[in-house]
Structure formats: C-alpha cells, structure tokens
C-alpha cells in the first residue's frame, strides 16, 4: 500500500510541476504561464498563473486538491528589477487570490521584454517556511512567453 501511495505521489508531483503554455492570440489576448507546487502529503497543492499583455498583468494563486491546512503563496518577479507581486490563497481548498476577476491588473515595469520568474509554494501559516515549491523562469517578448 505504501509503495502504491508513493508511486501515486511521485506521479502527481511530476504532473504538478508540469508547465502549461498557452499560445498568444490577438494583441489584446493575455499570454499566460502556469506553474504548480509539489503536492502535500495529503495531496493538496497550489497553482500560480501569470498573464501578461500590453503592460498589464494578472497574477492568480489558487489552493487546490485535498484540504491540507496549508496556504498557497505565489510570487511573480521580473529579473534584474525590484518589481514583484506576491499573492496568498489562504482561505482553504479551491480558493484563489488575484486574477482578472478581482481587478488585480496593474502596470508592469518597462520595457516589458525580459525574464520573469513565477514561483509558487505551500506554506504553514502567514509567516511559516515555504515548501514543495515549483517555479519557472521564462522569457516574455512583449506579446508571448518563449
């Protein structure tokens, strides 16, 4: 039974860190990139999605999977600058913070082009240590993730 559980957890972890790249559409469409945490021991996990276009961003962090008592913390930052945004999804499974639906769009640092890092972790409490993190560093050319 334990070996089976470990195999399922390893498969979920491999799936959890998989990245999704959505192709950019028209100039008004957002180029979106998603990263996930490694699942907790009880199969809770978190996701962070960064969507960029025309100088604006939406950054959404969600608590997913089985309730595990941890929050999801995500950070979007632009390499070589002090600009970053952090979101906490702390109200339980299937809750999110940020995103277009709650008007978190704001201005990105100029020039838009450059490397961005999206990092998402599980955390025990507001000031606890981050663990089971997933991250991606990707180049944004001003209209799409490369």
State pLDDT tens for residues 93-140: 899 998 876 556 667 888 889 999 999 999 999 999 999 999 999 999
State residue 9's pLDDT score. Answer: 35
pLDDT value for 6: 33
Q: Which helix (H) or strand (E) holds 3?
A: helix 2-16
What token pair was written down for 102?
């709650």
Which pLDDT does position 31 carry in this prediction?
75
pLDDT of 12 reads 40
What is the structure's pLDDT at 2? 33
- φ/ψ of 143, rounded to 5, equals -140, -15
d(CA 27, CA 45): 32
What count of residues does the chain have?
146
- Is pLDDT of 4 > 80? no
What is the CB neighbour count within 10 angstroms for residue 7? Answer: 10
Identify the residue with better confidence: 31 or 82.
82
pLDDT at 3 over 70: no
SS3 45: strand
Query: pLDDT tens for residues 19-78?
Result: 333 333 333 355 788 999 999 999 999 999 998 877 778 899 999 999 999 999 999 999
The mean pLDDT of 5-17, rounded to a whole number, is 37
Q: How far apart are CA 69 and CA 90, in angstroms?
A: 9
pLDDT recorded at residue 16: 40
Please give the sequence-ordered ranges of beta strands (E in DSSP) within the chain, or none if there are none: 20-21, 31-36, 44-53, 56-65, 71-78, 84-89, 96-98, 106-107, 114-123, 130-140
**Which of the pair, 90 or 21, is modelled with greater confidence?**
90
Q: Cα separation of 54 and 44, whole Å?
A: 34
State the distance between the two ends of the chain, measured CA to CA, in whole angstroms: 42
């Amino acid at each position: 039974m334990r070996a089976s559980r470990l195999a399922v957890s390893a498969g979920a972890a491999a799936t959890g860190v998989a990245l999704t790249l959505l192709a950019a559409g028209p100039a008004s469409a957002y180029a979106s990139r998603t990263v996930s945490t490694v699942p907790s021991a009880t199969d809770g996990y978190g996701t962070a999605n960064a969507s960029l276009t025309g100088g604006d961003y939406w950054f959404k962090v969600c608590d997913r999977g089985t309730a595990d008592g941890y929050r999801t913390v995500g950070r979007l930052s632009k390499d070589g600058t002090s600009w970053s945004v952090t979101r906490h999804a702390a109200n339980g499974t299937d809750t999110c913070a940020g995103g277009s639906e709650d008007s978190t769009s704001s201005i990105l640092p100029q020039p838009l082009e450059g490397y961005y890092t999206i990092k998402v972790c599980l955390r025990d409490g507001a000031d606890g240590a981050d663990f089971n993190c997933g991250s991606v560093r990707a180049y944004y050319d001003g209209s799409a993730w490369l």
